[in-house]
C-alpha cells in the first residue's frame, strides 16, 4: 500500500494541447535561443521580462551595445514562434528595423504566456579574437614550481606534486576574453581559448557595465549596496563561467581533468573588467574623478572566485595605473619592453576606451581617451564587431570598391579595420572632403551604406585618440620625430592597415619601419608575469611609476584640439 500511494503522488498529470494538463494545471511556457548551447534548454517565460533580459538569464550573447536602451539597433532578433506573447513594436523598433518580422530584444517585452517562444539573433557569431602576443622569450622563473615531489610557492611548499604544474594567462577584455594554458615547468603554451565576453549582453562598453551595477537609469535611482553587489556578482559569475569552461576544454583536449594541476592565474584587464573579475565595486569609475577604489595588485584564492583550479594556488590581478588606464596597459608595457629601453616609444591600444603610453626607462606618461565604440561597430549604421562576415579591408579604385570579409562570409557590416580603410580610401579618392563631408551616402555593398552621421561618429573617435597622443607629446615633452617605436597592441591594432591609420590621423605619421604590431600585449604581459616572478615586481613598479595624464585636465586647449582633430588636414 505504501508503494502504491508513493507512485500515485509522483505520477505526472497528462498533458493536453499547448502544455495545459488535463487536470487543469497550466504548464509554464519557455523561451529558447537555439543558436547557443545553453539557450537550447530554454528558460521559463516570465511576464514583464524583455527578450534581452531573458537572453541574459539564459546565457545567450545578444550584442546590446547601447546597454539595452533602444539606440544602437544591434540587438535585432527574429521571433520564429511565439510572437503573440510579445508587446507591440515600439517607436524605436519601427525606426531602427527595416526588415519585416524583426524585433529589438531590449524593447520586445513578454506580456503573455500563451506558447513557447523561439528567438534567432541577427548579429550572431564569435568575434575574430587575437589569441596570441608577439611570443617574446622570457626567462623561466615561475612563482609556483616543483622541487622533487612537492609544489612550492617561491620557497614555501604548498602541495604534493600531481604530475604537472600549470598556469593560466588571461586577457580580461571588455569584448573578448583570451586564456592561455601554460606549462610552468618549461614555459610552453599548451593551448589557447578565445571567447566573446558574455557581458556584452549588458552593453558593449565599460560604462554600460558600471551603470548595470550601480544605477537604474529608467527609474532614475541608484542601487543600494546589497543590490549593487548582487549585480556585480552576476557579471563576475559570467567571467568565472568562461574560465571554467575553458579549463574543461583544456582538460578534454589533454584527456584528463587538469584543474587540480592549475596553481596560478594572472589576469590583466582595464580597471572595470579587472575589478569586476575580483568582485570589487566599480561604481566610482562612473563618477568624477573616475578613479578605481582599488588600484593595487589583487590576490585571491580560486574558490573565492568560483574557479575550478587548485585552491592551494592563487589568482593574481595586474595592478592598475589609474582612471581608465588599467592592468592591460601595464601588461602591454611589459610586453613591448618600453620600461627597459632608452629610446622613446609610443604604445597605442585602440578600443572603446583607448590607452596611450609615451616614454622610456626614465619616464613614462599615460592617458586614456574616450574613443567610443565607433571603430568597434557601435553607433555606425553599417558597423559591426569583428565577427564572421564583417568587412575587414577595403580599397577603392576608379570608383569601384573591393573588400574582403572575416571568414570569407557574406558581408554583414564593416568592422574597425575596414572603417579605417574606408575613411582613408574615400579621402584619397576625393569622395570625402578634408572637412569630412560627403554629398550623399556612400554605398558599400547591398544595403550597407556610410552616412554623414556615421562619418561624424568615426571622426569623433579618431579625434579623441589623436588628441590623446598629441597631449602626451606636449607633456613629455617630445616631438613625433623623436619617437623611435610606435607599438600597436590588441586585436584592433594588429589588423589595421597602418598607412591608412596614419593617413586619417589615428596614429602619428612616422617611418613605417618604426611601427610594430605586438599582438595581444595584455595577454603577452600576463604570461610574462606568470612564468617569471620578477615581473610581478616590475608590474607593481610600472603601475606606481607611470604618470597618469587626464587630457581634459592637463591641456587648457583640449576642446579646441579635439575640434580641430575632427578633420583631415592635408590628408594628415
330-366 pLDDT tens trace: 999 999 999 999 999 999 998 767 899 999 999 999 9
Q: How confident is the model at residue 7 (pLDDT cuts 50, 70, 90)?
A: very low
155 and 198: one domain?
yes
46 and 184: one domain?
no
Decide which of 269, 300, 327 is a domain's last residue: 327
Strands 298-300 and 221-222: unpaired
110 and 180: one domain?
no
Range of the domain at 80: 2-121
Q: Where are the alpha helices (DSSP H) in 406-489?
A: 416-428, 452-475
Question: What does the pLDDT read at residue 262?
Answer: 98
Q: Do 308 and 247 contact (CB within 8 A), yes or no? A: yes
Give percent of the chain above pLDDT 90: 55
What is the average pLDDT across 103-113? 90
Question: What does the pLDDT read at residue 402?
Answer: 96
Q: How confident is the model at residue 465 (pLDDT cuts 50, 70, 90)?
A: very high
Question: What does the pLDDT read at residue 151?
Answer: 97
Q: How confident is the model at residue 132 (pLDDT cuts 50, 70, 90)?
A: low
Question: What does the pLDDT read at residue 555?
Answer: 82
String of b and e for 380-401 (b: at least 16 CB within 10 Å)? bbbbbbbbbbbbbbbbbeeeeb
Question: What does the pLDDT read at residue 516?
Answer: 93
Is 506 a residue whose pLDDT tops 70? yes
Decide which of 327, 359, 394 is a domain's last residue: 327
Q: How confident is the model at residue 8 (pLDDT cuts 50, 70, 90)?
A: very low
164 and 288: one domain?
yes
Is 4 a residue whose pLDDT tops 50? no
Grid-cell match 570598391, residue found: 401
Least confident of 20-34, 191-205, 233-247, 395-409: 20-34
Give percent of the chain above pLDDT 70: 89
261 and 170: one domain?
yes
Residue 197 makes CB contacts below 8 A (sequence gap 6+) with: 173, 174, 175, 176, 177, 238, 239, 242
Q: Do 313 and 335 contact (CB within 8 A), yes or no? A: no
310 and 162: one domain?
yes
322 and 213: one domain?
yes
What's the predicted TM-score (pTM) here?
0.79
Is 126 a residue whose pLDDT tops 60? no
148 and 117: one domain?
no
Is 394 a residue whose pLDDT tops 80? yes
Question: What does the pLDDT read at residue 133?
Answer: 55
Q: How confident is the model at residue 227 (pLDDT cuts 50, 70, 90)?
A: very high
What is the average pLDDT across 152-171? 97
Is 571 a residue whose pLDDT tops 50? no
Strands 345-349 and 485-489: parallel
11 and 114: one domain?
yes
Strands 364-369 and 547-548: parallel
Residue 330 makes CB contacts below 8 A (sequence gap 6+) with: 268, 318, 319, 320, 321, 525, 539, 542, 543, 546
Q: What is the mean pLDDT of the chain?
A: 86
User: How many independent structural domains does the chain possess?
Assistant: 2
65 and 111: one domain?
yes
Question: What does the pLDDT read at residue 129?
Answer: 53
Amino acid at each position: 500500500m505504501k508503494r502504491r500511494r508513493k507512485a500515485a503522488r509522483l505520477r505526472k498529470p497528462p498533458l493536453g494541447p499547448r502544455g495545459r494538463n488535463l487536470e487543469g494545471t497550466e504548464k509554464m511556457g519557455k523561451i529558447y535561443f537555439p543558436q547557443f548551447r545553453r539557450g537550447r534548454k530554454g528558460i521559463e517565460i516570465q511576464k514583464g521580462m524583455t527578450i534581452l533580459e531573458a537572453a541574459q538569464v539564459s546565457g545567450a550573447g545578444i550584442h546590446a551595445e547601447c546597454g539595452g536602451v533602444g539606440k544602437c539597433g544591434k540587438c535585432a532578433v527574429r521571433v520564429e514562434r511565439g510572437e503573440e506573447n510579445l508587446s507591440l513594436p515600439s517607436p524605436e523598433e519601427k525606426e531602427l528595423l527595416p526588415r519585416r518580422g524583426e524585433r529589438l530584444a531590449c524593447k520586445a517585452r513578454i506580456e503573455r504566456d500563451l506558447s513557447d517562444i523561439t528567438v534567432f539573433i541577427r548579429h550572431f557569431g564569435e568575434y575574430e579574437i587575437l589569441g596570441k602576443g608577439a611570443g617574446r622569450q622570457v626567462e623561466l622563473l615561475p612563482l609556483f614550481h616543483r622541487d622533487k615531489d612537492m609544489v612550492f610557492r617561491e620557497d614555501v611548499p604548498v602541495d604534493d606534486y600531481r604530475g604537472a604544474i600549470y598556469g593560466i594567462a588571461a586577457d580580461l577584455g571588455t569584448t573578448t576574453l583570451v586564456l592561455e594554458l601554460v606549462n610552468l615547468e618549461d614555459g610552453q603554451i599548451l593551448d589557447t581559448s578565445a571567447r566573446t565576453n558574455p557581458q556584452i549582453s549588458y552593453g558593449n562598453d565599460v560604462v554600460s557595465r558600471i551603470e548595470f551595477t550601480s544605477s537604474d537609469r529608467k527609474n532614475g535611482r541608484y542601487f543600494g549596496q546589497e543590490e549593487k553587489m548582487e549585480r556585480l556578482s552576476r557579471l563576475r559569475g559570467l567571467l568565472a563561467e568562461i574560465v571554467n569552461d575553458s579549463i574543461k576544454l583544456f582538460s578534454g583536449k589533454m584527456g584528463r581533468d587538469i584543474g587540480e594541476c592549475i596553481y596560478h592565474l594572472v589576469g590583466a584587464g582595464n580597471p572595470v573588467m579587472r575589478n569586476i573579475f575580483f568582485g570589487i565595486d566599480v561604481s566610482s569609475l562612473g563618477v568624477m574623478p573616475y578613479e578605481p577604489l582599488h588600484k593595487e595588485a589583487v590576490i585571491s584564492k580560486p574558490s573565492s572566485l568560483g574557479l575550478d583550479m587548485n585552491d592551494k594556488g592563487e589568482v593574481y590581478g595586474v595592478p592598475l595605473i589609474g582612471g581608465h588606464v588599467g592592468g592591460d596597459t601595464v601588461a602591454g608595457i611589459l610586453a613591448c619592453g618600453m620600461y627597459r629601453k632608452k629610446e622613446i616609444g609610443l604604445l597605442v591600444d585602440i578600443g572603446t576606451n583607448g590607452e596611450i603610453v609615451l616614454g622610456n626607462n626614465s619616464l613614462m606618461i599615460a592617458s586614456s581617451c574616450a574613443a567610443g565604440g565607433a571603430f568597434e561597430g557601435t553607433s555606425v549604421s553599417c558597423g559591426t564587431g569583428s565577427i564572421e562576415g564583417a568587412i575587414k579591408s577595403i580599397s577603392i579604385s576608379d570608383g569601384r570598391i573591393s573588400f574582403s570579409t572575416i571568414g570569407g562570409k557574406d558581408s554583414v557590416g564593416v568592422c574597425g579595420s575596414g572603417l579605417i580603410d574606408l575613411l582613408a580610401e574615400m579621402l584619397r579618392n576625393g569622395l570625402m572632403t578634408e572637412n569630412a563631408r560627403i554629398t550623399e551616402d556612400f554605398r558599400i555593398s547591398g544595403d550597407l551604406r556610410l552616412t554623414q552621421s556615421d562619418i561624424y561618429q568615426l571622426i569623433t573617435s579618431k579625434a579623441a585618440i589623436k588628441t590623446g597622443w598629441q597631449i602626451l607629446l606636449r607633456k613629455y615633452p617630445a616631438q613625433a620625430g623623436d619617437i623611435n617605436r610606435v607599438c600597436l597592441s590588441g586585436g584592433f591594432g594588429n589588423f589595421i592597415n597602418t598607412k591608412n591609420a596614419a593617413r586619417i590621423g589615428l596614429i602619428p605619421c612616422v617611418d613605417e619601419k618604426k611601427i610594430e604590431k605586438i599582438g595581444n600585449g595584455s595577454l603577452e604581459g600576463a604570461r610574462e608575469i606568470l612564468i617569471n616572478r620578477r615581473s610581478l615586481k616590475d608590474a607593481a613598479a610600472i603601475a606606481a611609476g607611470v604618470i597618469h595624464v587626464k587630457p581634459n585636465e592637463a591641456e587648457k586647449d583640449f576642446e579646441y584640439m579635439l575640434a580641430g582633430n575632427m578633420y583631415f588636414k592635408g590628408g594628415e
